[in-house]
Amino acid sequence: MKDTDPIHAWLNSPIPETLWHYTSIGGFQGITTSREIYATDSRFLNDREEIVHARTIAKDLIEEYPEADPEQPGRRRLANLVISDIFSPTGMFSPNSLLSYVSSFSTAADSLSQWRGYSKGSSGACLGFKMNRPRQQILEFDVNWLHETQKKGYPACFAPCVYDHSKKKELLRQALSRVLAAFKEIFSELPEVRAMFNDSKPGGRFLVEASQFLVGAKFSPSIERFRDALLQTIGDLLNIAPLLKNVAFKEENEWRLVIWSSAGAGNPQHPLRFRAGDTSLVPYIAYPLGSGEDMQIDLSDVLLGPGSDEHGLSVAQSFLKSIGLNLKVGNSSAPFRRT
């Protein structure tokens, strides 16, 4: 039930009154001029374990399942097949299939470590945003999206990152629980699926082949439950995989706007764009400030980094006035000197 579903509860965590986005002076100018926040292809973020970390934690979780499970023979193997198939080089979460685009915010204002990490050595800006999720609207993936991408666009979620190891496993355990329970029924009911399961190897095409077989199979309540459970599991993993972060990043206190899109294509709401990075062009998509279809994001505060020019404050105020934004601009209180 949703009231007791830890994934649903996490995705609907109470949003802080203000969240902060650290960026360069160029990023500050671009965001305020375009009235858009940029979501970057997660392959180009500074965490080498983006998305992959979820697979690692899932593997740890699966090792806790008993090898000889009297309640469900083959449960550990099935969980391994599901995770391996989804995260395989040709699976749903591969760069050739789906890509996640991330815009990062923090609960921490004026954080010296984030000035250093995300504002060109402390000379950038920290932008404060007010977030408003529409009443009764839940930012989580509707499993029907998997069949109706062109009608409904691509899904987005907005939630805090997860750093605690036990919480990560709790969320992944919930994501796997539905498909494992539903598969138990068809495993005993359909010898064809049982044969596929016995012949499959991790990283193969078990999920694809089983799903294709079930599409043409004679209807039964257990088959329908498995189809629904598989879609829900995929949706749950789409929701939580980008939120699971290595504990080394805990100090960032990050909230994320995550938007999924087909590889190389962007999507109807958010066309693919590119900007120059240090070593490559970086793909990104833009999310409108103030009137996003899933989340209203309003710029409320501007804070300049401790390494800013002595005239930066007055120039930033003049710039914002020139583009029609009446915002208060302040300086960081960190007594940091770049050497």
Residue 298 inside a domain? The answer is yes
Q: What is the pTM of this model?
A: 0.85
Contact 179, 211 (CB under 8 A): no
For the residues 288-309, what does the mean pLDDT come to?
Answer: 80
**Positive or negative torsion for Cα 307, 311, 313, 316:** negative
Mean pLDDT of the chain: 82
Q: Which residues contact 204 (CB under 8 A, 6 or more apart)?
A: 81, 84, 85, 88
Write down the pLDDT at residue 194.
77
Q: Is the pLDDT of residue 22 over 90?
A: yes
Residue-wise burial string across 81-93, b where 16 or more C-beta atoms lie within 10 A, e elsewhere: bbbbbbbbeebbb
Tell whether 339 is covered by a domain.
no
pLDDT for position 133? 60
Q: How many other C-beta atoms are found inside a 10 Å radius of the C-beta of residue 80?
A: 20
Interval 193-211 mean pLDDT: 75
Q: Is pLDDT at 4 greater than 90 in this prediction?
A: no
- In a domain, residue 288? The reply is yes
Confidence bin at 245 (pLDDT 50/70/90): very high
CA distance 217 to 214: 5
pLDDT at 134 over 60: no
Answer whether residue 336 is part of any domain.
no
CB 32 within 8 A of CB 299: yes
For residue 172 the two structure tokens come to 């992944």
Lowest-confidence pick of 141-145, 216-220, 300-304, 314-318:
141-145
Q: How many domains does the chain have?
A: 1
Residue 81 has pLDDT above 90, yes or no: no
**Is residue 144 predicted with pLDDT exceeding 50?**
no
Closest C-alpha to 15, from 294, 305, 269: 294
pLDDT of amino acid 335: 84
- Distance (Å, rounded) from C-alpha 261 to C-alpha 238? 11
**Listed range (132-141, 148-157, 244-253, 313-322) with the worst mean pLDDT:** 132-141
Percent of the chain at pLDDT exceeding 90: 35
Integer Cα distance of 223 and 226 in angstroms: 5
Query: In angstroms, what CA-CA distances link 11 with 4, 104, 244, 314?
Result: 13, 15, 12, 40
142 domain residue, yes or no? yes
Q: Is 18 in contact with 130 (CB distance < 8 Å)?
A: yes
Name, of 51-65, 121-135, 280-294, the range with top average pLDDT.
51-65
Higher pLDDT, 284 or 147: 284
At residue 146, the pLDDT reads 39
Name the residue with higher pLDDT: 61 or 336: 61
155: helix, coil or strand?
coil
Where in the sequence is the domain holding 138, given as residue range(s)?
2-331
**Which range has the worst mean pLDDT, 28-42, 176-190, 264-278?**
264-278
The answer to the question of residue 292 being in a domain is yes
289, 127 Cβ separation under 8 angstroms: no
